[in-house]
Structure 1
Amino acid sequence: MGETSGTLALCQKALERCRRGGSDLASALEALERTLPSPLPSHGRRSDNLHLATKIRLNREAITVLEEICFGEPPASVLAVALPLLGRISEQGEHHRLFLDRFGHLDPAVRAAAALGLARLNTRVCLPPVQGPMLNLLRDPAAHVRASVVRALWLLDRTAARSASSTPLTLILIASQDPDPEVRKAAADEIERYRNLGNPWARTHAP
């Protein structure tokens, strides 16, 4: 479904709430996440393309707002929403340092959000190698963080169907060795994703 002018107006209001900050900033960011449109033109919906300039403007404004939030020191609940959203819409490769810096945050929800944000950014821009830092998070003491990293690994593997990819092997090792059932389940789900993508290695090496 394409974005209507009403949805775009809601997005603008969410941006204004984000700029004001305050105690409801996390809620405002969630509203922004729900309403922020894709800046890409639609195929087959002329009404969507009429709003293309507005979509592009809203995304640019959102990037500016999210940068200010993520480079600051807001509450963990705010960063947990802002980091993945910035990764979803940013096209600036230098933002990868922002995500990497948050890998050391005290709150596990922020570490998990930073991993997802970095993986999303990787799908949009050409980044320096980030697999190493991501794999290091697989030793995080929080199972939630490890599971989040597992679910994000495929986003780092741009050509996931290639047989040479080592990500399915990594996932299989996690699925068989991690002490937490949530992490093992996440790994098994991602192995199935690779099978569905046609990865020969994943198809022939079950956990």
Structure 2
Amino acid sequence: MITDTYLTDPRDRILFGETPTYLQPLFGDKLPAPALGKHRFVMGQEGVVLEAVNEVLEVRLPVARSIIPLPYGALGEPGIRLRNGPIPRPILETIEYKAASACPNEWAGWVIWDVVQQRYALFEPAILSVGSGHVSYRNRIPSHAVLVLDLHSHGLHPAYFSETDDLSDQQGFYVAGVIGHCQGPKSYASRMNVNGHFFDGVDFRSLFQ
């Protein structure tokens, strides 16, 4: 990482310490993995990517593409990797069944990684209020689990992320998904959430196998 001696304000040093920017080496060893649960920015030949790792996910996602080749190393393939392998497809089938059964009301559920049993599971949080245009729930992950997917349905309405979703997704590191038109040909919306940064272009259904 570039030396921080030019940072004269301690607040800048704290900011760079929490969210650093690295240069991808062209000749030397590759960068070590990011700190668990943190994210960083890396500049390489192609531009800038965001990298992050937690107990269940590894991501390298494009932030900006350079209009010229930068004099650094290659960044590697962007994408999202489940560290514990794909999620079993029967869990997706259960999710779609529950979303359809709840229709016209909305439904919410989480796919978690159970650290004790070392397996994926569907967890339904305690619902506080639900209707055809909203669902609110107790946002508390079990102590033995790590969140992988945060999902909810929109009943008869199309899939999209609302302003309420944007506010609730400001913290954490997981894939978010919405299922819409639950009683007909379904619509879907997906994004990767990394500590308040949203990345489109991921289909949460592709994480199942």
Q: Please say which structure displays the higher CA radius of gyration.
A: 2
TM-score band, normalised by the shorter chain? under 0.3
Instruction: Please give the TM-score of this superposition, normalised by the length of structure 2.
Output: 0.24
Instruction: Please give the TM-score of this superposition, normalised by the length of structure 1.
Output: 0.25
Larger % of strand: which? 2
